[in-house]
Structures are given as structure tokens and as C-alpha cells.
């Protein structure tokens, strides 16, 4: 049985741990309702590509204000912009932005890993390809640079 001083020390240590954990900034929140909806897609879906209009951007700087990998950049919202629940097959799964201004992509995959892109397609649009996608939920943030939001199209395809 612990003594009163030992119980007080244990409680104090627990409080310090709780403060440390709660101090971690997690700006993107996959548990929130997506800003522009969600869809269920299965391998071989039609029409391909599946597209959705979004307003890219937000008040959170993915590079400075989040614990995301350093390749994740752009201004994003707290909630995902779109959610895809995907049943995988033998096709790749490709997410791409199409916009008149520079956009970025941040995707939280079914395994909890983060994939990010800015300009890999070479034209200011972002593209993330899952060569062997997993079945499950993909939460997607479409980011921008600067303080202005941008109307964009998120394209999801199995034929890159």
C-alpha cells in the first residue's frame, strides 16, 4: 500500500504527463466532418476520375503549426476537405489537385501514415499516388500558399 506522500507524488507526476500530452499541437483533425463531403469508392469505380470542387486553404500552416512531416506544406483547415473510403483492388489510387493557383495535398491514409505533395506534377498542382493502395479511409486536405483561399478540383483516379 502506498503512503500519502507517495500517492501525492504519483498524482503530481500524472498531472505533469497530462499537461505535456495536452500541449502537443495537432492542427489537422481527421475525426471532424469533412468540409466538402465524402464518398465510398471501390476498385474499378466509374466515372473515373471522381472529382469534387473544394475551396483549398485555411488558417493553419501545415509546415509551422503541425507535427506533420516536413514535406507537408501549405495553409489548410482543421477538418479534412474530403474523405474517401476505398475498397482496394489491383489498380493504383491517385489524388490530384487542379487549380489556377499553386495547391498542395496532405493525405492521411488508412494505416495512419501521412503523404504530402507540392508541385511534383510540375505545373503547380499537387499529386499523391498510392501504387498499391490499402482499403480504408483516406482523409484529404487541399492546401494553398499565402492567405487567400483558392477554388480547386480534387481528382481521384485509378488511371494516372
Task: Identify the structural domains of the chain with CATH numbers, from first to last.
Answer: 26-157 (2.60.120.380)
Mean pLDDT (whole number) for 107-131: 92
Task: Name the band, by pLDDT with cuts 50, 70 and 90, for residue 80.
Answer: very high
Mean pLDDT (whole number) for 36-44: 98
Q: What is the pLDDT of residues 41-76, one digit of tens each?
A: 999 999 999 999 999 999 999 998 888 888 899 999
Q: How far apart are CA 104 and CA 117, in angstroms?
A: 6
Read off the C-alpha cell for 62.
501545415
Task: Name the band, by pLDDT with cuts 50, 70 and 90, for residue 8.
Answer: very low
DSSP secondary structure string, 52-85? EEEEE--SEETTTSS-S-TT--SEE-SS-SEEEE
Going 17 to 77 to 106 to 94, the CA torsion angle's sign is: positive
pLDDT at 29: 84
Instruction: Please tell me whether the peptide bond between 157 and the residue prior to it is cis, using omega within 30 degrees of 0.
Output: no
- The residue among 57, 48, 27, 83 whose CA lies nearest residue 147 is 57
* Average pLDDT for the chain: 84
Task: Name the band, by pLDDT with cuts 50, 70 and 90, for residue 27.
Answer: low
pLDDT at 50: 98
C-alpha distance from residue 144 to each of 9, 11, 48, 148 (Å) = 47, 44, 25, 8
Mean pLDDT (whole number) for 4-31: 43
Rounded to two decimals, the pTM is 0.81
Q: How far apart are CA 96 and CA 103, in angstroms?
A: 10
State the CB neighbour count (10 A cutoff) for residue 8.
Answer: 11
Q: Are 43 and 91 in contact (CB under 8 A)?
A: yes
pLDDT at 152: 97
Mean pLDDT (whole number) for 109-113: 95
pLDDT at 86: 98
Q: Which residues of 112-147 are buried (b: 16+ CB within 10 A; e: fewer)?
A: eebbbbbeeeeebbbbbebeebeeebbbbbbbbbee
Amino acid at each position: 500500500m502506498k503512503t500519502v506522500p507517495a500517492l501525492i507524488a504519483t498524482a503530481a507526476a500524472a498531472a505533469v504527463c497530462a499537461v505535456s500530452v495536452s500541449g502537443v499541437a495537432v492542427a489537422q483533425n481527421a475525426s471532424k466532418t469533412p468540409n466538402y463531403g465524402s464518398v465510398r469508392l471501390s476498385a474499378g469505380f466509374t466515372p473515373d476520375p471522381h472529382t469534387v470542387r473544394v475551396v483549398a486553404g485555411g488558417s493553419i500552416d501545415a509546415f509551422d503549426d503541425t507535427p506533420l512531416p516536413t514535406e507537408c506544406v501549405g495553409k489548410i483547415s482543421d477538418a479534412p476537405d474530403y474523405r474517401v473510403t476505398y475498397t482496394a483492388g489491383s489498380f493504383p489510387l491517385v489524388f490530384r489537385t487542379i487549380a489556377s493557383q499553386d495547391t498542395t495535398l496532405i493525405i492521411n491514409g488508412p494505416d495512419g501514415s501521412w503523404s504530402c505533395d507540392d508541385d511534383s506534377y510540375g505545373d503547380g498542382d499537387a499529386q499523391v499516388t498510392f501504387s498499391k493502395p490499402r482499403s480504408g479511409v483516406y482523409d484529404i486536405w487541399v492546401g494553398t500558399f499565402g492567405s487567400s483561399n483558392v477554388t480547386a478540383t480534387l481528382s481521384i483516379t485509378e488511371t494516372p
